[in-house]
Structure 1
Amino acid sequence: MPDVLRVAAQEPFSARALVYALLLDPRPDLRDLQLTQLKAGAEPQDFAETLRLVAPVQALPDTHRLPLLDMAMPALRQMSPRQHRTFRAQVEVLMIADPRLSLFEYTLRCVLHRHLDAQFLPQRQTRPVHSSPQKLAHPVATVLALLAWEGQPKPNQAARAFDTGMRGYIGGDHTQRLPPRAECSLAEFDAALQMLNQSVPAIKRRIVVACATCILANQQVTLREAELLRAICDTLDCPLPPLVAGEAERR
């Protein structure tokens, strides 16, 4: 990690700028739109710091993006409630500048919501409503389907990974089938994940194990699989399995 980014991750205002820089699109026209919106809504020093950090952030390998976000998290927790409101709003503005949410943007949102919302936003205590693994087979299949397609480009390999994950979740035979790639959207994945988040802890752990089993069906971990698994674990408030502790392959 370059020193300029390592140092920037240690202060709240520059940590915010790092997140903004991570969300800037490489396409010049869209990036210019994002910067115009950021200048209008963010703190002036945050905007100036974002401009300073754009080049080193965009020069990072994709595998360094989430580690940089993790480095910035302690500083982000030092924000005031007012600063957090502005920061959260600007993150959303930068994301929706392009109507199509990227996998990295989705993961970043999941990470920020888990680690910052509990500190800055009132949390409504809710009791788990799902305790039967069998009744959650369909939403689990929805999550595993996108995970399988992101890690396995060929249909037969994706089907094998999906089946391995479902067997890991159910504990044996199942009736779920891998849908076509075109039917596996990030929106449906998120809806399924929100439903699974209402499960008891034991089922959440089973889901994470099933996802890890699906990923390791071919003994490789791609960057996109690692990002999806991070989103899954942060949404379900579960520890990240050690399989993504090393460097993920970029495919």
Structure 2
Amino acid sequence: MRPARWIGPAWLCKRPDRHAARPHTRRGTRPVLGRAIIYALIIVQSDRQWHEAQLAHLKEHGDQGIHDLTLDFLRVVPGLKRTDRLPLVDLALPALRRMSRAQFTRFRQNLVKLVSIDSDIQVFEWALHRILIHHLDAAFVQPSARTRSAKSLQQLTGPCRTVLSFLAHSGAATPEAAHSALEKALDSVGRVGIDRQSLPGEPATLDALGQALEELARLKPLAKLRFLQAVWPVWLPMERWWWRKWSC
């Protein structure tokens, strides 16, 4: 993968729009451009039938000028190789850290809304959301003082359900394929002592998936290993699908 700097300032300055004259301040990419980059990366992942609704949401709920800037990036991002899109996140992060707290709150709400409009969370959307939240929460959210005691699998049935639902639905070409993958997942976790009847198969939201992973990080070491071994047969086909999609 080429470094983010290769695709950054020079790429921004080539944008054929009225904003390209001043894409940067002395401190780097402007925060509004960082937000527009991320919004464009999310929207381009959705089917075209949802783009109008996503852009309409930004026009109503986004910061001033963000709708037009996102449109500018949407004219360019689809022409990039999929593997060249992640460096744009590296480019945007320093700018996003310079948002005000109110801008961060609005940005996070808009991010979740844009993903939820098409009701189908893609692997890239989830990964992008986790990268952003990991880096930005450290700057804008006070760390929790809650004691984080180790948990067993039986104590974390809900988070297990959420992660399994995501794995089952990601990359599935049809609802039938998703159901088959979920059945395989339920059989797998049943072997480590989780009641499959307590694991319905609804797709997870971004926030729910993130919270579930944070909870599962609290598993006791042996329990964590058992869970990973159980979901591996479900994850492997999805990983192959993801690699085919993003290596093209």
TM-score normalised by length of structure 2: 0.61
| Structure-2 residue corresponding to 1:125 | 145
1:250 aligns with 2:245: yes
Query: 1: CA distance between counterparts of 2:228 and 2:146?
Result: 24
| Structure-2 residue corresponding to 1:6 | 8
Query: 2: CA distance between counterparts of 1:157 and 1:33?
Result: 31
For the structure 1 residues 161 and 124, does the alpha-carbon distance in structure 2 shift closer, same or farther, using more than 3 Å as the test? Answer: closer
Deviation at 1:4, TM superposition (A): 8.9
Deviation at 1:87, TM superposition (A): 2.5
| Structure-1 residue corresponding to 2:41 | 22
Deviation at 1:179, TM superposition (A): 9.3
Residue deviations 1:53-89, cap 9 Å, x none? 1122233455555554344323322323343234234
Amino acid across the alignment from 1:75 = A
Deviation at 1:250, TM superposition (A): 2.4
Point out where structure 1 has 5 or more consecutive residues left out of the alignment.
224-247
Query: 2: CA distance between counterparts of 1:6 and 1:211?
Result: 41
Amino acid across the alignment from 1:213 = W
Query: 1: CA distance between counterparts of 2:156 and 2:86?
Result: 29
1:206 aligns with 2:224: yes
| Structure-2 residue corresponding to 1:48 | 68
| Range moving further from structure 2, 109-118 or 62-71 | 62-71
Query: 2: CA distance between counterparts of 1:137 and 1:184?
Result: 13
Is contact 1:144-1:214 (8 Å) kept? no
| Structure-1 residue corresponding to 2:20 | none
Amino acid across the alignment from 1:6 = G
Q: Secondary structure of 1:186's match?
A: coil
Following superposition of structure 1 onto structure 2, how do residues 94-243 of structure 1 map, counting pairs within 5 Å? Answer: 94-96=114-116, 98=117, 100-103=119-122, 104-128=124-148, 131-137=151-157, 139-148=159-168, 150=170, 153=177, 163=187, 166=189, 174=193, 176-177=195-196, 183-187=200-204, 191=208, 194=211, 197-198=214-215, 201-203=218-220, 206=224, 209-210=228-229, 213-215=232-234, 217=236, 220-223=239-242
1:72 aligns with 2:72: no
Amino acid across the alignment from 2:96 = L
Point out where structure 2 has 5 or more consecutive residues left out of the alignment.
13-22
Is contact 1:81-1:120 (8 Å) kept? yes
The number of residues matched between the two structures is 218
For the structure 1 residues 210 and 75, does the alpha-carbon distance in structure 2 shift closer, same or farther, using more than 3 Å as the test? Answer: farther
Query: 1: CA distance between counterparts of 2:71 and 2:210?
Result: 35
Deviation at 1:14, TM superposition (A): 1.7
For the structure 1 residues 88 and 203, does the alpha-carbon distance in structure 2 shift closer, same or farther, using more than 3 Å as the test? Answer: same
Is contact 1:140-1:192 (8 Å) kept? no
Amino acid across the alignment from 2:204 = A
For the structure 1 residues 68 and 115, does the alpha-carbon distance in structure 2 shift closer, same or farther, using more than 3 Å as the test? Answer: same
Amino acid across the alignment from 2:164 = L
Q: Secondary structure of 1:187's match?
A: coil
| Range moving further from structure 2, 84-93 or 149-158 | 149-158
Residue deviations 1:16-68, cap 9 Å, x none? 1111112335436x433433442344344433322221122233455555554
Query: 1: CA distance between counterparts of 2:130 and 2:8?
Result: 22
Deviation at 1:191, TM superposition (A): 4.8
TM-score normalised by length of structure 1: 0.60
Is contact 2:121-2:205 (8 Å) kept? no
Query: 1: CA distance between counterparts of 2:33 and 2:203?
Result: 30
